[in-house]
Amino acid sequence: MVGSLNGSSMDLIQNAEPLPEEIDPKAMPLDLNGESDGGRGGGGKSRQIVLGRNVHTSCFEISEPEDDDEVTGEREAYMAGVLARYRKSLLERTKHHLGYPYNLDFDYGALGQLQHFSINNLGDPFIESNYGVHSRQFEVGVLDWFARLWELERNEYWGYITNCGTEGNLHGILVGREVFPDGILYASKESHYSVFKAARMYRMDCVKVGTLMSGEIDCADFGSKLLLNKEKPAIINVNIGTTVKGAVDDLDMVIETLEKNGFKDRFYIHCDGALFGLMMPFVKRAPKVSFKKPIGSVSVSGHKFVGCPMPCGVQITRLKHINTLSSNVEYLASRDATIMGSRNGHAPLFLWNRCNAQ
């Protein structure tokens, strides 16, 4: 809607209650139509805040214009005010951003010109679809860089840029299950919750393994639990930095434990490197994650150490494992082996920019 502000609209804006400097999760949202009931829900009943629903007490509701609404600019002014206050809140909160391992030292002003396009990398990043507005050339450039980092030849890897680290875990564990359909998933109790989410989603048997004081996997406990299920293959999640303690599982010891207990050719290892997967390769004498070792996949987050402004990640696996997942998609004139269908085409641009600049 396009309009200009008249005198009455300006009076309304000046007299309107402003948004708080800080977004208060206990405060009710502004009501554009002036129908707020003072913090009570429909029928005058007190709103109950329950786990997982408390955002509704601070949401900015959408009020659709009536057919007979006049074009006064009032609605645009309201929305502009909401966004301005929200930006101020973001600036303040970012100053005191502690507890999350995000790299906030970035400036992507040069990429602003590309935000006007609907860039969608649907399907396989290596096979162009019939949707022409994509950034596959940047995505594959990023994937090639990560494959080199983890020592996997270009003609031996497959991967894609995910929406987050969780999607990387979901994909890596899914590949493991496709390689070993009757395999049991093993993960330390310090593993990210998305690993256990994957087990529920794929209806996999999952065994939690104990940890050492440091938070890394206890390979003695791992070995004893392998022996209890010796008839079934093992799918293992190896942590390259746990969520709370930052523990790095001993990949070499995990492999040794598998081979010592008779799983020499019956295991698949997924490495969850969301936290430290991009840091370890550049730290002297740090344990090495490499596809020269018998691992199946590695995933990392792009919005942590790298510093992308939107959640994203990278998942790399061996090309030989992907054929079981990949399928033809007729309307795309392409193939797909990803978890999601449509994928953010802007994330590869930010990752490509960052990897080139650092």
Q: How high is the pLDDT of residue 241?
A: 92
Q: What is the dihedral of CA 312, 211, 268, 193, to 10 degrees?
A: -40
Q: Which residue, of 47, 63, 95, is where some domain finishes?
A: 95
Instruction: Write down which residue in 95, 125, 151 finishes a domain.
Output: 95
Q: DSSP of 29-98, one letter per residue?
A: PP-TTS---SSB-GGGPBPPP-TTTGGGGS-----PPPTT----SHHHHHHHHHHHHHHHHHHHHHHT--
Q: Tell me whether residue 79 is in a domain.
A: yes
In a domain, 101, yes or no: no
pLDDT, averaged in runs of 10, over the chain (358 residues): 44 48 46 41 52 65 76 84 92 81 78 92 90 96 97 96 95 97 98 97 98 97 97 97 93 98 96 88 88 97 83 95 79 78 93 87
195 and 86 assigned to the same domain? no
Query: What stretches of the chain adopt beta strand conformation (E)?
Result: 157-162, 184-188, 206-209, 234-239, 267-272, 297-301, 313-318, 327-329, 334-336
Sequence-distant (≥ 6) Cβ neighbours of residue 254 within 8 angstroms: 217, 219, 222, 236, 238, 269
Is residue 107 one of the residues assigned to a domain?
no
Q: Is residue 145 part of a domain?
A: yes
**Is residue 69 domain-shared with residue 181, that is, in the same domain?**
no
Q: Using the 8-state DSSP alphabet, how is residue 240 labeled? A: B
Give the model's pLDDT for residue 116.
92
* 262 and 334 share one domain: yes
Question: In whole angstroms, what is the distance from residue 303 CA to residue 312 CA?
Answer: 6
Are 124 and 89 found together in one domain?
Answer: no
pLDDT at residue 10, rounded to an integer: 46
Quote the domain boundaries for residue 312.
Answer: 114-357
> Residue 123 in contact with residue 334, Cβ under 8 Å?
yes
Indicate the residue among 61, 95, 129 that finishes a domain: 95
Same domain, 295 and 327: yes
- 120 with 72, same domain: the answer is no
Q: What is the pLDDT of residue 252?
A: 97
Asked whether residue 143 is assigned to any structural domain, the reply reads yes
**Number of domains the chain contains:** 2
20 and 133 together in one domain: no
Is 118 in the same domain as 152? yes
Report the interhelical angle of 136-149 vs 347-357 (nearest 10°): 50
In three-state secondary structure terms, 324 is coil
CATH classification at residue 202: 3.40.640.10
Residues 125 and 196 in one domain: yes
The share of the chain scoring above pLDDT 70, in percent, equals 82
Residues 247-265: pLDDT tens digits? Answer: 999 999 999 999 999 999 9
Q: Do 210 and 349 lie in a common domain?
A: yes
Six-digit token string for 152: 């996997």
pLDDT of res. 156 = 96
CA 119 centroid distance within chain: 18
Cα distance from N-terminal residue to C-terminal residue, the chain? 43
Query: Residues 273, 349: one domain?
Result: yes
Evaluate whether residue 293 is within a structural domain: yes
Rounded alpha-carbon distances, angstroms, from residue 357 to 13, 74, 103, 105: 44, 44, 14, 12
Handedness of CA 344, 349, 351, 354 (dihedral sign): negative
Note the pLDDT of residue 212.
97
Residue 105 lies in a domain: no
In a domain, 106, yes or no: no
Same domain, 90 and 147: no
Residue 120 β-bridge partners: 344
